[in-house]
Amino acid sequence: MKSNAPIPDQRPAQPSSLTRPGARSGATCPSCGSARLTSLSMTLTDGTPVNFSSCHNCEHRVWADEQGSLAFADVLTRATKKKVVS
């Protein structure tokens, strides 16, 4: 069945972002210096609060807790859910 409904007016294509303008913290990538970072705060399975940052420019990734950067293997260990055997 063909619809005769009009197509709504569309805005011209504009670059978009998932972040709000002005919401950046001023942090820069430790590898390339770019300010184009995605940063997330979370709590790992073992209760460790961490910050994750990923650079859009060079794809450098960093996991850090209060003491500083964490090795990825350490993040995996802390994030692994322990299986309880009964």
For residues 53 and 37, the answer to whether their CB atoms sit within 8 Å is yes
The structural domains of the chain, with segments of one domain joined by +, span: 37-76
pLDDT number for residue 26: 77
Residue that the structure tokens 């069945």 belong to = 1
Tokens of 24: 């950046």
Mean pLDDT, the chain, whole residue set: 81
This model's pTM is above 0.95: no
Q: How far apart are CA 69 and CA 75, in angstroms?
A: 10
Residue that the structure tokens 């209060």 belong to = 66
Q: How far apart are CA 29 and CA 23, in angstroms?
A: 16
- Provide the 10 A C-beta neighbour count for residue 30: 11
pLDDT in tens, 40-71: 899 999 999 999 999 999 999 999 999 999 99
